[in-house]
Structures are given as C-alpha cells and as structure tokens.
Homo-oligomer: A and B are copies of this chain.
Amino acid sequence: MQITHELTDKGIGLLKGKNIAFVASLMRDGSPQITPVWIDYDGHFILINTAEGRVKQKNFQRDPRVAISMVDPSNPYNTLSIRGNVAEQTTEGADEHIDKLANKYLGVDKYPFRAAGEKRIILKIRPEKVFHITSE
C-alpha cells in the first residue's frame, strides 16, 4: 500500500473517469453533509456542477471548505480523498459543462434531468490535501 500526497496521473484518471465522487460540505451549524456527484478536472481545479439553491451550493457560499472521496470501482484499493476549498462558483459555461458531464456519465449529448428555470453553477475546487491510496 502506498499513499501519495499529490494528484498523480492515476489520481487524475480517477477524476476524469466515469466514477462517482462523494463531496462533503458544512451545514449552517457546522455539521457535515455528503452527496454523490459527477466530477471533472480542468488541469487545475476539480469541478462539480450543481444548481443554484441546492444545499451544497448554499453551504459552499457560506463556508468553502470541502472534502471529496472516491474509489476506483474496478479496484477498491485505489482510493482518492481530498480536502480543499471551493475557490470559485460560476455560471459561466455551466450549461455546456453539465452537458459534457452527462455525456461522460450517461453517454448522451444533453443533460436530461434539468428542471425548469434551473441555474447551473460550476464549483471550482482547489485541492489542498491529497490522500491517494494505491495497492502498489
């Protein structure tokens, strides 16, 4: 078993692959909350796409501290856990980005679960502590 404290190609492969990630935010009272999310990486930030008004979007507006964890479904001994901050929330490119994620995860061209009037938001996460555990 090996622990790497940076994002290697293998860690980036997990983020870029068709893998569900789990993201923790902080509720108003400071308690943790987790939800499963689609995930992306732009070479600098880890990207999550959410909608305005969702619990985690409001949580990160109040307190940007975040944790992410994911496991390679084909190898449970390849796990990536990250702590960091939501450095930015932006609507810019967020509609195209959710379609890109729908393509990655569902193989379709357009995100099919859009609610009427929903405003998509990209959360740009700066990874600060990386714990990538691998079996090699």
A18 to chain B, nearest CB (A): 10
A71 contact set on B, CB distance < 8 A = 20, 36
A7 to chain B, nearest CB (A): 16
A115 to chain B, nearest CB (A): 11
A58 contact set on B, CB distance < 8 A = none
Decide if B32 touches A25 in the complex (CB within 8 Å). yes
Decide if B73 touches A24 in the complex (CB within 8 Å). no
- Residues on A lying within 8 angstroms of B by beta carbon are 20, 22-27, 30-36, 65-71, 73, 76, 79, 81, 83
A-B residue pairs in contact (CB < 8 Å), sample of 23: A20-B76, A22-B22, A24-B67, A25-B32, A26-B30, A26-B32, A27-B83, A30-B65, A31-B67, A31-B83, A32-B32, A32-B66, A32-B83, A33-B67, A34-B34, A34-B67, A35-B69, A35-B79, A36-B70, A36-B71, A36-B76, A36-B79, A36-B81
